[in-house]
Structure 1
Amino acid sequence: MIDPSILQEAGAKKIHLKKGEWVFRQGDHALNYFQLIDGQIKMSNFSEQGQEFVQGLFTEGQSFGEPPLFVDVTYPASALATTDSNLLKLGKDKFMDLLLANPSVNLEVSKNLAKRLHYKAVMATEISSHDPEHRVLTLLKYLKAEMNLNTDELFAIELTRQQIADMTGLRVETVIRAIKKMESEGILIIKNRKVYL
């Protein structure tokens, strides 16, 4: 999202995480801006019953965990490396200085945050009021739109059935049934166990 060279000029450090290592945990103080060089980070939190709800999966070039930096609160979710990952880490004060000194970067960060807020608003409505097929399809369409693909282009969904379940508030068995039903209706395609939209 932010040009890595700009981040490094501002003082960002490269860090390496092995699969299964935490970037931060829910309740930690927000002290840094993080942006992925490569790998994947999962942000999630858990209900009192222990059910995981995935807030987002982040990959190369994406940032995560910024909102608490702007309002001086703790992280509302935890961030975990789901693969070996390399990140850029920039302290909060240096990040704020970078935004003040670079209006175009500030605007891009604001757009990114607005997109995430829009996604959360859409998914909150979906989870509370729609059938499983509709919830899953909304998530898949959102992911496809994020890749800026035209609607006719076939898009491979890089999420497991479990990850789709975690992101839609469904059980994995329900996701599997919903995907099979949508395949039978010609809404999506399954090739070699991979889902395409």
Structure 2
Amino acid sequence: MVINEKLLYSAGAEIKHYNSGEIIFQEGAIPMYYFQVIKGRLKLNNYTKDGKEFIQNIVYEGQSFGDSMLFMDKVYPMEAVALEPCTIFRLCKNNFFSMLNTYPQLYDTLCKALADRLYYQHIMLQANSAQSPAQRIIDLMDYLKSGSEYKDPFSFKVPLTRQQLANLTGVCVETAIRTIKNMEKNKIVKIKNRKIFF
């Protein structure tokens, strides 16, 4: 967890439940809350002018999201959408800053979480600048695997669909599917029951 649950409760956080596909906040909305996932997964995404989805990140249990936006007077540049049923802490902006003033040691925890997200953005920018779709997908899988306990070849189950891999790396889903099949032939990944192991 980024912030201890007891601290969130004492600061006035409420627990919100979202169904799969439900919007948690919309692009262009004013940031009003600190969010932290208790259970489930969600995506941060937006759409190009021609309607193509671009997933900026997928957020998992124990992670916060949208909190960097609380520190500036700007609207959300993306939306947050539940990928599955989600249970999320929601703490209003004023209470969030009161909590940080009461517990200044939380700034260190928060800075580490923000730095990790910034690192992810740098990795993804570098990966998505590669010409090869395979290299883009491998770089993303490398990053995801680096945060897991599974280090051996083919021990890490990629927690993303082929569509999500495509949206995160900026390739079309057909290219992602074809690339993953080639990666399997080249023994870079294994596919078991349609799941990708890296």
TM-score normalized by the length of structure 2:
0.94
Residue 69, structure 1, aligned to residue 73, structure 2: no
Residue 151, structure 1, aligned to residue 151, structure 2: yes
Secondary structure in 2 aligned to 1:34? Answer: strand
In the alignment, which residue of structure 2 is the partner of 1:139? Answer: 140
List per-residue Cα deviations over 1:11-64 (Å, max 9, x = no partner): 100111122211100000001000111112111011111111001111211111
- One-letter amino acid of the structure 2 residue matched with residue 7 of structure 1: L
In the alignment, which residue of structure 2 is the partner of 1:177? Answer: 178
8 Å CA contact 2:31, 2:76 repeated in 1: yes
Counterparts of residues 26-105 of structure 1 (less than 5 Å): 26-105=27-106
The separation in 2 between residues aligned to 1:130 and 1:97, in whole angstroms, is 46
8 Å CA contact 2:127, 2:140 repeated in 1: no
The separation in 1 between residues aligned to 2:79 and 2:63, in whole angstroms, is 16
Corresponding residue pairs, total: 196
Shifted more, 107-116 versus 151-160: the winner is 151-160
Residue 18, structure 1, aligned to residue 6, structure 2: no
Percent identical among aligned pairs is: 40
Secondary structure in 2 aligned to 1:159? Answer: coil
Q: CA deviation at 1:104?
A: 3.3
Q: CA deviation at 1:150?
A: 5.0
Q: Which runs of 5+ in 1 are unaligned?
A: none
Residue 186, structure 1, aligned to residue 187, structure 2: yes
TM-score normalized by the length of structure 1:
0.94
**Cα 1:146–1:177, aligned 2, differ >3 Å: closer, same or farther?**
same
Q: Which runs of 5+ in 2 are unaligned?
A: none
Q: CA deviation at 1:131?
A: 0.6
List per-residue Cα deviations over 1:133-189 (Å, max 9, x = no partner): 110011111111122x25226111111000000000001111111111111111111
CA RMSD of aligned residues (A): 1.4
8 Å CA contact 1:100, 1:106 repeated in 2: no
Q: CA deviation at 1:122?
A: 1.8
